């Protein structure tokens, strides 16, 4: 059985792009988005749970998030978790609902976020390059085992490189769009 699996390489490279999109989705751009609160975990019932398992997060208007806590006894822990998550959000307690006004971003904060977006992008590119390396290694292994010829290995290496280039181009375009959104240009 050949060690090289094109479908697996494509799946892993696509996974790196999807992971990047998830990371970038969590960056605050001055517009309200439910994904802003994805990293928040709340300590309730003696366990740490994602916020979306104890409350409903919605966007009633462009610069406001609303967190409807299902169990009234959890409002305090949810409010505390949001405050301590380092997102720069200050919840306003309305009984069982928390309102989160989204503050304007300072120029300095925008630059920090753009830099962070660049770091996420680089992390995704490294992941893609690692997948490419695994693919190239698998092709060399297959050639040594006699599963494929040298010409076939070279042809498939070109294919892997094209896939890598296309995926890196995807990463660049996703990252550039997010940076543009952050810097508000």
Helices (H) and strands (E) in the chain, counts: 4, 6
Greater model confidence, 66 or 106: 66
Alpha-carbon distance of 152 to 79, in angstroms, equals 59
Greater model confidence, 42 or 125: 125
Q: Which of 53, 63, 56, 44 is nearest to 98 (CA)?
A: 56
Confidence of residue 1 (pLDDT cuts 50, 70, 90): low
184 and 31 Cβ atoms separated by less than 8 Å: no
Residue-averaged pLDDT of the chain: 85
Q: Is the pTM of this model over 0.75?
A: no
Helices 107-145 and 150-183 sit at what angle, rounded to 10 degrees? Answer: 170
**What residue has token string 């966007």?**
59
pLDDT value, residue 12: 93
| 183, HSE (Cβ side, Cα atoms, 13 Å) | 14
132 and 161 Cβ atoms separated by less than 8 Å: yes
Alpha-carbon distance of 83 to 9, in angstroms, equals 40
C-alpha 73, offset from chain centre = 31
pLDDT value, residue 159: 94
Instruction: Give per-residue pLDDT as tens, 57-102.
Output: 888 887 788 888 888 888 888 888 888 876 777 888 888 888 888 8
């Amino acid at each position: 059985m050949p060690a090289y699996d094109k479908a697996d390489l494509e799946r892993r490279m696509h996974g790196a792009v999807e992971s990047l999109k998830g990371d970038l989705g969590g960056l605050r751009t001055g517009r309200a988005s439910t994904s802003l609160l994805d990293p928040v975990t709340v300590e309730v019932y003696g366990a740490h749970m994602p916020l979306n398992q104890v409350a409903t997060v919605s966007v009633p208007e462009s610069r406001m998030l609303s967190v409807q806590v299902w169990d009234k006894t959890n409002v305090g822990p949810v409010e505390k978790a949001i405050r301590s998550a380092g997102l720069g959000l200050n919840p306003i307690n309305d009984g069982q609902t928390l309102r989160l006004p989204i503050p304007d971003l300072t120029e300095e904060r925008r630059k920090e976020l753009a830099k962070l977006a660049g770091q996420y992008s680089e992390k995704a590119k490294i992941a893609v390059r690692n997948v490419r390396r695994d693919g190239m290694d698998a092709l060399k292994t297959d050639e040594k085992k006699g599963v494929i010829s040298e010409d076939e290995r070279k042809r498939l290496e070109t294919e892997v490189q094209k896939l890598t280039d296309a995926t890196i181009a995807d990463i660049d375009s996703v990252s550039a769009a997010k940076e543009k959104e952050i810097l508000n240009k």
